[in-house]
């Protein structure tokens, strides 16, 4: 991975060294790229060139000459944006936007912008630059004429997208491979062991904070801010109003303090070292032991009502306060939050947890449609339940809905950054679909989250397989 394109072209027998020399000279004259000139000269097929680019960049490739792109995908990116950034929406399979790009090495900004504007997860595919440019012009011209789809020169109606061959990586130990024999017979094959009749969730590990004693801890506030002056100011101000105040200078210590002694409220700065404030809020909401602790966020950076609404909707913040703030207003808003949440108490086993348990049973029984429905209900009841997203991803993958599964695995590891089984499964799925670069990145994360030396050795082996492929 990362070797020069011209070396790979010759080594893999796609073109001769002489053809590479001629194409490089033409590319220098015309301000184009090597593979575009080779394609224009007829020296190699687009599919063969795409396979080399995919190997070079660690992304899957797309052979546009054998692809069909429907108008609903094209409408997601305006033509002027597609032309300016040399990108082409090619599919919305699995609820993701699959995007052809010419320059993977500088595409991160463009991908981030498209993700923000469309609100969809992005799967990028490398394409031959010249072919991509022609496809953009022709596809959007067809869209303007009202065509239902654009097809490459060698594509036939209904052929879909011609992706390059994926890289394979074995499933992690402990992950299930479900084979449905009969949806009604409830028969299944399991990769490692027969399914138990009843699934009992394991007991939580680590310290389990006791519910707050409201008579003693009902006014205990944890102030988390990396500026010592602000911590000292808030400690004095809140202490004078009858609060008991603990402080933490970063996100990691904040989580440790909540685990050791649960506060009545967390006053949380958004910009923190070690673990970002939004990530701290996400983890508190994702953990059944702390999800009922109210969080009030403070920020001097993420300003405006949209950030405030996102903090409430996506991260579960009860309130969102911009800096600089008036101390009397801050105290009043803390009091309002405490009063509003005083009677909600510790979270009891919920319908979401019951649906999660049911979904796991159905998954192991091979009843995939019912498992997906149950797990989706669990997520509707508790969007921050990482395990529900993980189990849904496994069910979707077993159904063959690989890109929807990818999105669910990604959500699981967003909610729990050290979620080792989900990281391993996500890496395997990235590799299976040809996203070698993302697979390597995810395995590197899994390496730090591995629970024991055996697991670490397995991850290292997978990494070596990918890096040497």
**Nearest of 266, 227, 271, 225 to residue 243 by alpha carbon:** 266
Q: Between vectors from CA 278 to CA 109 and to CA 224, what angle results, nearest 5°?
A: 135
- Whether residue 468 lies inside any domain: the answer is no
In this prediction, residue 467 carries a pLDDT of: 82
pLDDT per position as a tens digit, 318-367:
888 888 888 888 898 899 899 888 766 555 555 678 899 999 999 999 99
pLDDT per position as a tens digit, 384-409:
788 999 999 999 999 999 999 999 99
DSSP letter for each residue of 211-253: PP-HHHHTTEEEEE-S-HHHHHHHHHHHHHTT-EEEEESSHHH
Last residue of a domain, one of 151, 166, 185: 151
- Read off the CATH number of the domain in which 227 is found: 3.40.50.2300
In this prediction, residue 220 carries a pLDDT of: 92
Domain residue limits at 80:
5-151
- Whether residue 371 lies inside any domain: the answer is no
**What is the arrangement of strands in the sheet containing 295-299, beginning at the earlier edge strand?**
244-248, 220-224, 265-269, 295-299, 319-322
Contact 422, 410 (CB under 8 A): no
CB atoms within 10 A of CB 134: 16
- Whether residue 262 lies inside any domain: the answer is yes
In this prediction, residue 166 carries a pLDDT of: 54
Intervals of the chain under pLDDT 70:
1-2, 165-217, 301-308, 310-311, 313-314, 343-351, 469
- Helical (H) or strand (E) element with 249: none
Assess whether 147 and 219 both reside in one domain: no
Last residue of a domain, one of 341, 367, 389: 341
49 alpha carbon, distance to own chain's centre: 29
Question: What whole-number distance in Å separates Cα of residue 298 and Cα of residue 381?
Answer: 27
Assess whether 45 and 147 both reside in one domain: yes
- Whether residue 10 lies inside any domain: the answer is yes
- Whether residue 331 lies inside any domain: the answer is yes
In this prediction, residue 427 carries a pLDDT of: 94
In this prediction, residue 325 carries a pLDDT of: 80
Assess whether 23 and 128 both reside in one domain: yes
Q: Is the peptide bond before 204 cis (omega within 30 degrees of 0)?
A: no
Assess whether 123 and 220 both reside in one domain: no
In this prediction, residue 469 carries a pLDDT of: 64
- Helical (H) or strand (E) element with 43: none
Assess whether 115 and 220 both reside in one domain: no
User: What is the end-to-end Cα distance of the chain in Å, rounded?
Assistant: 7
Question: What whole-number distance in Å separates Cα of residue 126 and Cα of residue 417?
Answer: 28
Last residue of a domain, one of 309, 341, 373: 341
Assess whether 22 and 143 both reside in one domain: yes
CB atoms within 10 A of CB 417: 16
Phi, psi angles (nearest 5°) of residue 412: -60, -45
Question: What whole-number distance in Å separates Cα of residue 91 and Cα of residue 67?
Answer: 10
Assess whether 14 and 137 both reside in one domain: yes
Assess whether 146 and 262 both reside in one domain: no
**Nearest of 135, 128, 39 to residue 89 by alpha carbon:** 135
Whether the model clears a pTM of 0.75, i.e. scores above it, the answer is no
- Whether residue 21 lies inside any domain: the answer is yes
Assess whether 16 and 127 both reside in one domain: yes
Assess whether 225 and 132 both reside in one domain: no
Question: What whole-number distance in Å separates Cα of residue 418 and Cα of residue 168?
Answer: 23
Q: Is 265 helix (H, G, I), strand (E, B) or coil?
A: strand
- Helical (H) or strand (E) element with 98: strand 97-101
Q: How many domains does the chain have?
A: 2
**Nearest of 164, 128, 138, 134 to residue 36 by alpha carbon:** 128
Q: Across the strands, what pairs with 123? A: 98
In this prediction, residue 50 carries a pLDDT of: 94
- Helical (H) or strand (E) element with 190: none
In this prediction, residue 328 carries a pLDDT of: 84
Assess whether 19 and 136 both reside in one domain: yes
- Whether residue 426 lies inside any domain: the answer is no
Question: What whole-number distance in Å separates Cα of residue 381 and Cα of residue 423?
Answer: 24
Question: What whole-number distance in Å separates Cα of residue 123 and Cα of residue 92?
Answer: 10
- Read off the CATH number of the domain in which 77 is found: 3.30.300.160
Assess whether 220 and 83 both reside in one domain: no
- Whether residue 432 lies inside any domain: the answer is no
**Nearest of 73, 92, 85 to residue 139 by alpha carbon:** 73
Distances (CA, A) of 159 to 18, 49, 185: 35, 20, 35
Contact 178, 397 (CB under 8 A): no
CB atoms within 10 A of CB 456: 15
């Amino acid at each position: 991975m990362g070797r020069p394109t011209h070396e790979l072209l010759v080594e893999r027998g796609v073109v001769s060294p002489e053809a590479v020399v001629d194409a490089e000279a033409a590319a220098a004259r015309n301000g184009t790229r090597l593979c575009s000139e080779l394609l224009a000269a007829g020296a190699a097929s687009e599919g063969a060139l795409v396979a080399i680019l995919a190997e070079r960049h660690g992304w899957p490739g797309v052979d546009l000459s054998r692809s069909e792109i429907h108008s609903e995908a094209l409408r997601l990116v305006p033509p002027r944006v597609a032309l300016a950034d040399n990108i082409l929406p090619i599919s919305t399979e699995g609820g993701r936007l699959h995007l052809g790009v010419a320059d993977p090495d500088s595409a991160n900004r463009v991908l981030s912008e498209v993700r923000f504007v469309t609100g969809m997860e992005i799967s990028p595919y490398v394409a031959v630059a010249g072919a991509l440019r022609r496809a953009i012009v022709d596809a959007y011209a067809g869209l303007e004429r009202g065509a239902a789809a654009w097809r490459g020169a060698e594509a036939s109606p209904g052929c879909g997208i011609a992706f390059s061959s994926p890289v394979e990586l074995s499933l992690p130990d402990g992950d299930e491979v479900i084979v449905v024999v009969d949806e009604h017979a409830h028969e299944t094959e399991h990769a490692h062991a027969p399914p138990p009749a009843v699934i009992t969730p394991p007991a939580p590990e680590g310290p389990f904070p006791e519910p707050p004693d409201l008579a003693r801890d009902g006014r205990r506030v944890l102030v988390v801010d990396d500026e010592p002056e602000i911590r000292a100011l808030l400690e004095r101000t809140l202490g004078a109003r009858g609060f008991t105040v603990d402080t933490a200078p970063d996100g990691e210590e904040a989580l440790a303090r909540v685990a050791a002694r649960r506060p009545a409220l967390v006053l949380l700065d958004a910009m923190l070292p070690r673990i970002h404030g939004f990530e701290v809020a996400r983890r508190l909401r994702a953990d059944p032991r702390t999800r009922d602790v109210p969080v009030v966020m403070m920020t001097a950076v993420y300003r405006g009502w949209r950030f405030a609404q996102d903090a409430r909707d996506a991260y579960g913040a009860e309130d969102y306060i911009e800096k600089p703030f008036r101390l009397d207003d801050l105290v009043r808003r803390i009091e309002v939050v405490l009063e509003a949440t005083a009677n909600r108490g510790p979270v009891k086993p919920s319908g979401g947890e019951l649906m999660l348990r049911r979904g796991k049973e159905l998954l192991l029984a091979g009843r995939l449609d019912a498992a997906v429905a149950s797990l989706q209900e669990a997520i509707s009841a508790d969007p921050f339940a990482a395990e529900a997203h993980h189990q849904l991803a496994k069910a979707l993958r077993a159904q063959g809905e690989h890109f929807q599964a990818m999105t669910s695995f990604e959500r699981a590891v967003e909610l729990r950054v050290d979620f080792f089984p989900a990281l391993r499964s996500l890496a395997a799925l990235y590799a299976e679909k040809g996203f070698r670069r993302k697979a390597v990145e995810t395995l590197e994360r899994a390496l730090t989250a591995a629970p024991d030396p055996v697991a670490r050795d397995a991850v290292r082996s997978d990494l070596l397989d990918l890096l040497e492929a």
